[in-house]
Amino acid sequence: MNVKSSESVHKLLADPEFQALIRQKRTVSVVLTMIQLLLYFGFIALIAYDKPFLAQTIADGSAITIGIPIAVGVIVLSWVLTGIYILWANTRYDAMVNSVKKRLGE
């Protein structure tokens, strides 16, 4: 790494807007990850500790149990969380990255 690129890295890392960008990305990522883990492991815990609840049918004579829509909900909510991240990245994160790049002349 040459001296000029080393200086630009230090300049970038010291930039308050870049630091805010990193904090915001970390916050969004951690929050969405925690929600996903809670959903997934909550469903797994339900399978492990309350099988009779999940085995109940939705209606008399129905073959669909309560566990099926809950499992589908976990999958759909995973997609929704991914969509939330994509929306945030496309509307806020990319704009912040471009702003930092412009300001630092990258």
Residue 24's closest CA among 103, 81, 82, 93? 93
Q: Which residue's entry shows tokens 């890392």?
A: 13
Compute mean pLDDT per 10 residues along the chain, 106 residues long, and list them: 66 83 93 96 95 90 91 96 95 88 76
Nearest-Å Rg of the Cα atoms of the chain is 22
> What is residue 72's predicted lDDT score, i.e. its pLDDT?
96
Q: Which residue's entry shows tokens 């004579």?
A: 61
- Contact criterion met (CB below 8 Å) for 17 and 95: no
> What is residue 103's predicted lDDT score, i.e. its pLDDT?
79
Residue 24's closest CA among 96, 101, 77? 96
> What is residue 2's predicted lDDT score, i.e. its pLDDT?
54
Question: For 52, how many CA atoms within 13 A lie in the half-sphere containing its CB?
Answer: 0
> What is residue 53's predicted lDDT score, i.e. its pLDDT?
92
> Residue ranges of the domains in the chain?
36-106
> What is residue 13's predicted lDDT score, i.e. its pLDDT?
80
**Beta strand ranges found along the chain (DSSP E):** none
